[in-house]
Amino acid sequence: MVPVLLAAAVVASGARADQHGVARPDGVAQETLSEVRVHGNTHTPEADVLKLAGLRVGQPLDQAAIEAAETRLRQSGRFDAVEIRKRHRSLDGGPEVALVIIVQEHPARGVGSRGCPSSAGSTG
């Protein structure tokens, strides 16, 4: 009986429930992160970038969450530049959103291709 009353309250208030069942009074469905792509990472694995960003597919998404992810990536000290671009998954601007994380890594400073100190200049 409670779900029926809740649905009636949502309809009566003019709010619309999003795909997670969250009713928003402004009638706009909550955006959901459906995909994340990472570009520009050559030394940092994609999984590490995603972990640093703190994003996960399926989470509700708003501008504050995107800005927080950018801040976490910048503060990690691994990147010279970070940009996150939001793309709607459908032409009608539906609630499913993809994010493209674009990073520019710090140049490798004295580190070889396997993460070991460079042997440049050594005799031996």
Looking up residue 98, the CATH number of its domain turns out to be: 3.10.20.310
What is the pairing mode between strands 16-17 and 23-24?
antiparallel
In tens, the pLDDT along 27-49 reads 667 999 999 999 999 999 999 99
Q: What is the pLDDT of residue 68?
A: 98
Q: Is the pTM of this model over 0.85?
A: no
Range with top average pLDDT, 20-24, 101-105, 107-111: 101-105
Residue pair 46/53 in contact (Cβ under 8 Å)? The answer is no
Residue 35: which domain range? 27-105
Confidence of residue 94 (pLDDT cuts 50, 70, 90): confident
Q: For position 7, what pLDDT does the model report?
A: 39
Residue 19 lies in a domain: no
Q: What is the pLDDT of residues 45-83, one digit of tens each?
A: 999 999 999 999 999 999 999 999 999 999 999 999 999
Q: Is residue 6 part of a domain?
A: no
User: How many domains is the chain partitioned into structurally?
Assistant: 1
Q: Give the pLDDT band (50/70/90) at residue 106.
A: confident
> Would you say residue 78 lies in a domain?
yes
Position 15 in a domain: no
pLDDT for residue 67? 97
Beta bridge partners of 82: 103
> Residue 114 falls within a domain, yes or no?
no
Residue 48 belongs to some domain of the structure: yes
Q: Angle, nearest 10°, between helix axes 63-75 and 46-53? A: 120
